[in-house]
């Protein structure tokens, strides 16, 4: 540095900083304060109307957000529709039960925002903000949503498997996916508490109910009710059960209380109470809802920063289900 003019050095620093900021998304809660001042209001009004109309929207949107962030980061890639050039993430078998209401609320918000401030707000940010607003609407904790994500330029169905947890996996395997995205075991259990709302289709847990390999650890009365509910699931694959049979529409800690009673719906739920490494967190959250809410809120803030895209590796889509370059 000896002999370098300090003004020249400062100039180089500014150029370097500008280059970095173009490549890396710098997220802020007030990102749209000047460019789209009604952003918060538009999102809040849209999710309120949709949730009242369709009460499963909150759970579906939360699940959609998780599936988006765990593959290629929180970049709206799960929103892309398949076309003749590309089979997109949402059409992989593991994503075929992602609910239409979750896609619909993003589309509604995007339409309203394009009228108010065209070409400004990314679909990835819409999904993140809508998820938070919906979680709080159904009783969940408030958490900050930092904004400024750009929409990704890739969505490949073949990349889904191995990046999204499956109901029949072990704690070790599931935590492996969380760990590579920066989450601890405790954070994994806290995020699993999202199953306090929503539902799962019978095909995701039917192997726990029937035949010689039926899970004998399910609460017997619960198992009987599920068998009756799912008896025609091979004919009608839309049949589903609530993840939390006690308070299915309320975001609370009942999911963890249910696990201790043999009322976990999915094998991946039940295993959290069986595994010695995760049981202490289940016990904690079952007895202390405040601890669950605090951990869930922090984990959601962290989830929203996974793999975010900056200007150099993303765009603001005109439509959430299509790349701006339709040939991609």
pLDDT of residue 213: 85
Average pLDDT, the chain: 92
In the structure, what pLDDT confidence band is assigned to residue 17 with cuts at 50, 70 and 90? very low
d(CA 16, CA 130): 34
Q: Which of 5-14, 87-96, 99-108, 210-219 has the highest mean pLDDT?
A: 99-108
6: buried, middle or exposed (CB in 10 Å: 19+, 13-18, 0-12)?
Answer: exposed
Q: Which two tokens stand for residue 21?
A: 């900021």
Q: Which residues are annotated as a binding site for Ca(2+)?
A: 68, 73, 75, 77, 89, 196, 244, 247, 252
In eight-state DSSP terms, residue 90 is G
Q: How far is CA 65 from CA 68, 127, 129, 130, in A?
A: 5, 6, 10, 9
Q: Which residues are annotated as a binding site for substrate?
A: 165
Q: Are 122 and 314 in contact (CB under 8 A)?
A: yes
Residue 20 has pLDDT above 50, yes or no: no
pLDDT of residue 211: 86
136: buried, middle or exposed (CB in 10 Å: 19+, 13-18, 0-12)?
Answer: middle
pLDDT of residue 18: 45
Q: Residue range 80-88: average pLDDT?
A: 93
| Nearest CA among 225, 160, 224, 234 for reference residue 201 | 234
pLDDT of residue 21: 43
pLDDT of residue 52: 97
pLDDT of residue 6: 56
Q: Residue range 195-222: average pLDDT?
A: 94
Q: Which two tokens stand for residue 306?
A: 């996974």
Fold of 171-303: Peroxidase; domain 2 (1.10.420)
Point out the least confidently predicted range of 75-79, 129-133, 323-327. Answer: 323-327
Q: How far is CA 11 from CA 1, 14, 96, 172, 275, in A?
A: 14, 5, 51, 49, 56
Residue 157 has pLDDT above 80, yes or no: yes
Other C-beta atoms closer than 10 Å to the C-beta of 194 total 22
For 38-159, the fitting CATH number among 3.40.640.10, 3.30.70.120, 2.20.25.90, 1.10.520.10 is 1.10.520.10
Which residues are CB-neighbours of 12 under 8 A, at least 6 positions away? none
| Nearest CA among 104, 72, 102 for reference residue 88 | 72
Q: How far is CA 15 from the centre of its chain?
A: 36
Give the residue, 92 or 11, on which the prediction is more confident.
Answer: 92
Residue 327 has pLDDT above 70, yes or no: no
67 is catalytic: yes
Q: Residue range 138-150: average pLDDT?
A: 98
d(CA 310, CA 273): 39
- Per-residue pLDDT tens over the stretch 41-77: 999 999 999 999 999 999 999 999 999 999 999 999 9
d(CA 121, CA 145): 14
In the structure, what pLDDT confidence band is assigned to residue 19 with cuts at 50, 70 and 90? very low
Q: Which residues are annotated as a binding site for heme b?
A: 195
Which residues are CB-neighbours of 54 under 8 A, at least 6 positions away? 101
Q: Residue range 241-245: average pLDDT?
A: 97
Residue 101 has pLDDT above 60, yes or no: yes
Other C-beta atoms closer than 10 Å to the C-beta of 26 total 12
The single residue of 67, 175, 233, 270 carrying the catalytic annotation is 67
Q: Which two tokens stand for residue 9?
A: 């050095």
- Per-residue pLDDT tens over the stretch 258-296: 999 999 999 999 999 999 999 999 999 999 999 999 999
Q: Residue range 131-141: average pLDDT?
A: 98
Q: What are phi and psi of 153, to 5 degrees?
A: -110, 10
Percent of the chain scored above 90 by pLDDT?
87
Q: Which residues are annotated as a binding site?
A: 68, 73, 75, 77, 89, 165, 195-196, 244, 247, 252
d(CA 292, CA 193): 8
Q: Residue ranges per domain, the chain? A: 38-159, 171-303
Q: Which two tokens stand for residue 142?
A: 């408030």
d(CA 272, CA 129): 29
């Amino acid at each position: 540095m000896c002999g370098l003019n300090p003004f020249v050095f400062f100039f180089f620093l500014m150029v370097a900083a500008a280059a970095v900021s173009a490549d890396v998304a710098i997220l802020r809660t007030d990102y749209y304060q000047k460019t789209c001042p009604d952003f918060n209001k538009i999102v809040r009004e849209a999710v309120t109307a949709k949730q009242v109309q369709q009460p499963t929207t909150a759970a579906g949107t939360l699940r959609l957000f998780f599936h988006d962030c765990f593959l290629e980061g929180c970049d709206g890639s799960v929103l892309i529709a398949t076309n003749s050039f590309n089979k997109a993430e949402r059409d992989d078998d593991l994503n075929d039960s992602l609910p239409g209401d979750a896609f619909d609320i993003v589309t509604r918000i995007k339409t309203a925002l394009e009228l108010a401030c065209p070409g400004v707000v990314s679909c990835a940010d819409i999904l993140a903000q809508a998820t938070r607003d919906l979680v709080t609407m159904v009783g969940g904790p408030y958490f900050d949503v930092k904004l400024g994500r750009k929409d990704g330029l890739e969505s490949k169905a073949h990349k889904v498997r191995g990046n999204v947890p499956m109901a029949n996996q072990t704690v070790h395997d599931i935590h492996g996916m969380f760990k590579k995205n920066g989450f601890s075991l405790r954070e994994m259990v806290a995020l699993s508490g999202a199953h306090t709302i929503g539902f799962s289709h019978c095909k995701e847990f039917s192997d726990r109910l029937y035949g010689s390999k039926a899970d004998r650890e399910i609460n017997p009365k619960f198992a009987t009710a599920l068998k009756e509910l799912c008896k025609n699931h091979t004919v009608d694959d839309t049949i589903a059960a609530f993840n939390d049979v006690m308070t299915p529409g309320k975001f609370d800690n009942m999911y963890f209380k249910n696990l201790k009673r043999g009322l976990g719906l999915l094998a991946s739920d039940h295993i959290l109470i069986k595994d010695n490494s995760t049981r202490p967190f289940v016990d904690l959250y079952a007895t202390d809802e405040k601890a669950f809410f605090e951990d869930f809120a922090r984990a959601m803030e962290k989830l929203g920063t996974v793999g975010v895209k900056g200007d150099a590796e993303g765009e603001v889509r005109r439509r959430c289900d299509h790349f701006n370059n339709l040939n991609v």
